[in-house]
């Protein structure tokens, strides 16, 4: 485990301790946009993470604090509570997400569920782990028995394409599709093989960066909806094992 990964895990757990103590209490809630909210706890958790990570001298992209560019080509990508609506509503399905990018390449990711105290992490070319135990993606190779997870951004276009893809997968491919409200934690569940495929359109990089490398190192193919190799300029993402990824991308080929 590199010093950067060790530091990211420590930062996530420190923030997680604070979030866990505040969960279920009355929240100070601020509206950022249409159906887009942030709590005082979100901001406090990001401050805790930044305090720990700033010693590296890397650039930062945080959901709440924005972008802080430094000379280093490395950048921390931080979402202090991915699944804020769930957090506000008292639903225990949310996570802290931290990723490190070197230029445009994901180097490591940490997703921490503070309620279950489950810490997922991965580093490039080293595999993926849940509380120290190696995890792997589902091995499903057909639509039979497959369950997909899916989420979308807030733009009308993303919502329309989400509905088209969901309808196609459910009606034509007979595939159950769920949106559980936390992109990072859904990707972690893909990495551990609890679900079989993940799709998103229009989410922000901080929503999925940490979960993407964890899923990839657990054996997932990361592509856009057409099966082309993903890069961080494309927020249409499909995550599944190689065989399943191909048949899903074929199934939604006429969308987007």
Query: pLDDT tens-digit profile of 79-99?
Result: 999 999 999 999 999 999 999
Q: Minimum mean pLDDT among 97-101, 217-221, 251-255: which range?
A: 251-255
Name residues whose C-beta falls within 8 Å of residue 186's C-beta, 6 or more positions apart in sequence. 149, 151, 180, 195, 198, 211
Query: pLDDT tens-digit profile of 139-180?
Result: 988 888 889 998 887 777 767 777 777 777 776 677 788 889
Counted residue by residue, the chain has a size of: 256
Beta bridge partners, 66, equal 62
Q: What's residue 70's pLDDT?
A: 80
Burial of 15 (0-12, 13-18, 19+ CB in 10 A): buried
85-89: which pairs have CB atoms within 8 A and are 24 or more residues apart?
Answer: 85/37, 85/181, 86/181, 86/182, 87/19, 87/23, 87/27, 87/39, 87/41, 87/42, 88/27, 88/29, 88/37, 88/39
The candidate with the shortest Cα–Cα distance to 188, out of 147, 228, 239, 231, is 239
Q: Domains in the chain and their CATH numbers?
A: 3-135 (3.30.540.10), 148-251 (3.40.190.80)
Q: What's residue 139's pLDDT?
A: 93
Burial of 54 (0-12, 13-18, 19+ CB in 10 A): middle
């Amino acid at each position: 485990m590199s010093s950067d990964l060790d530091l990211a895990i420590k930062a996530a757990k420190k923030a997680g301790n604070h979030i866990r103590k505040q969960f279920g209490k009355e929240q100070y809630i601020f509206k950022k946009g249409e159906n887009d909210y942030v709590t005082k706890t979100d901001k406090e958790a990001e401050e805790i993470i930044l305090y720990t990570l700033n010693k590296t001298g890397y650039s930062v992209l945080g959901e709440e604090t924005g972008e802080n560019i430094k000379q280093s080509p490395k950048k921390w990508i931080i979402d202090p509570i991915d699944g804020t609506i769930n957090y506000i509503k008292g639903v225990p399905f949310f996570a802290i997400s931290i990723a490190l990018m070197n230029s445009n390449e994901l180097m490591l990711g940490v997703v921490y569920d503070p309620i279950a105290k489950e810490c997922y992490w991965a580093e490039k070319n080293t595999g993926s782990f849940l509380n120290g135990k190696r995890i792997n993606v589902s091995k499903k190779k057909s639509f039979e028995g497959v369950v997909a997870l899916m989420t979308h951004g807030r733009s009308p276009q993303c919502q329309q394409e989400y509905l088209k893809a969901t309808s196609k997968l459910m009606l034509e491919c007979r595939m159950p599709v769920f949106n559980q409200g936390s992109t990072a934690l859904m990707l972690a569940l893909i990495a551990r093989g609890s679900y079989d495929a993940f799709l998103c359109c229009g989410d922000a990089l901080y929503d999925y960066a940490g979960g993407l490398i964890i899923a990839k190192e657990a054996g997932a193919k990361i592509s856009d909806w057409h099966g082309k190799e993903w890069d961080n300029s494309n927020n249409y993402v499909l995550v599944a094992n190689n065989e399943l990824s191909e048949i899903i991308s074929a199934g939604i080929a006429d969308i987007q």
